[in-house]
């Protein structure tokens, strides 16, 4: 039977400030997000931010990442008022299983990180360089994205649509929400869109430099796509 994909996710961002830093759960995902220097003329004049590296359990690369993720996690360091750019590492923790899961996220950087995080940061940075080189060779580098809100089945109808391309206002936020590597759409695995829709009907389309595109939704989507739907 098809496993229920909806999870009760209470995502809590832990900064490590104060004496209550006590993250619970097991690591299930790690992200390395390059944070660019702010452009003096604002976001609309910025080059797109470099795509983050996102590694989830149990997908390829997770064993290498998990082996260098410290346990217990160290307390994040204060970034100070002069922190403007660098590399931000985020560790996502899961408590519980399936529909009763809760999540916590612990952020490190972008300027200062505990020494215990450096093996993880170096591993993710190698994946970032390798991924970007491969994507550019194939032309599969994101240059645009579209989020469409749809009516329910049996006939999906577009209710609203937001589309942002490279160089346009808001591309920095959109690019940061696109997971890398992009997961395969569930349609490729034979899932039925009419089954189990619990959180609205949204269709996500990512456009690539080589003219190709990847579509997700409108009902079931890989969990890596959900942050894009909720943040854009």
Q: Which domain holds residue 190?
A: 139-232
Q: Let me know whether 35 and 101 are in one domain.
A: yes
pTM for this structure? 0.55
What pLDDT digit, counting tens, does each position of 7-54 carry? 333 344 555 444 567 788 899 999 988 887 765 444 443 444 567 788
Say if residue 104 is in the same domain as residue 22.
Answer: yes
pLDDT digits (tens, 9 = 90+) for 84-129: 888 999 999 988 776 567 888 999 999 999 999 999 999 998 888 8
User: Mean pLDDT in the chain?
Assistant: 75
Are 129 and 160 part of one and the same domain?
A: no
d(CA 75, CA 77): 7
Of 138, 157, 182, the residue that ends a domain is 138
Last residue of a domain, one of 97, 116, 138: 138
| In a shared domain, residues 206 and 112 | no
Is residue 68 pLDDT above 60, yes or no? Answer: yes
Q: Judge residue 77's burial from the number of C-beta atoms within 10 Å of its C-beta, 0-12 exposed, 13-18 middle, 19 or more buried.
A: middle
**Per DSSP, what are the bridge partners of residue 193?**
none
- DSSP-derived letter for residue 209 is T
CA–CA gap between residue 36 and residue 42 (Å, rounded): 12
Does residue 159 share a domain with residue 118? no
- Residues 123, 78, single domain; the answer is yes
Structural domains counted in the chain: 2
Neighbours of 215 (CB within 10 A): 14
> What integer is the mean pLDDT of 60-88?
91
pLDDT attached to residue 174: 82
Q: What is the pLDDT of residues 176-192, one digit of tens each?
A: 778 767 777 764 434 44
Residues 4, 108: one domain? yes
Of 89, 51, 19, 62, the C-alpha closest to 171 is 51
Choosing from 93, 115, 138, the residue where a domain stops is 138
């Amino acid at each position: 039977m098809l496993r229920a994909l909806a999870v009760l996710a209470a995502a809590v961002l832990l900064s490590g400030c104060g004496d209550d830093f006590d993250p619970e759960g097991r690591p299930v995902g790690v992200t390395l997000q390059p944070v660019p220097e702010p452009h003096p003329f604002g976001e609309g004049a910025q080059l797109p931010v470099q795509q983050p590296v996102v590694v989830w359990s149990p997908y390829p690369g997770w064993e290498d990442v998990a082996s260098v993720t410290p346990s217990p996690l160290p307390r994040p360091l204060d970034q100070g008022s002069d922190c403007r750019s660098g590399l931000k590492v985020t560790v996502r923790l899961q408590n519980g299983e399936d529909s009763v899961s809760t999540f916590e996220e612990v952020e490190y950087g972008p300027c200062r990180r505990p020494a215990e995080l450096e093996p993880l940061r170096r591993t993710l940075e190698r994946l970032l360089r390798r991924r970007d080189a491969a994507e550019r060779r194939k032309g599969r580098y994101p240059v645009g994205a579209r989020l469409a809100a749809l009516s329910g089945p049996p006939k999906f109808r577009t209710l609203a649509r937001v589309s942002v391309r490279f160089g346009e206002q808001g591309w920095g936020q959109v690019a940061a929400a696109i997971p890398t590597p992009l997961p395969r759409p569930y349609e490729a695995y034979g899932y039925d869109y009419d089954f189990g829709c619990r959180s609205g009907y949204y269709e996500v389309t990512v456009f690539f430099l080589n003219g190709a595109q990847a579509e997700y939704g409108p009902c079931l989507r890989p969990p890596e796509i959900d942050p894009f739907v909720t943040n854009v």
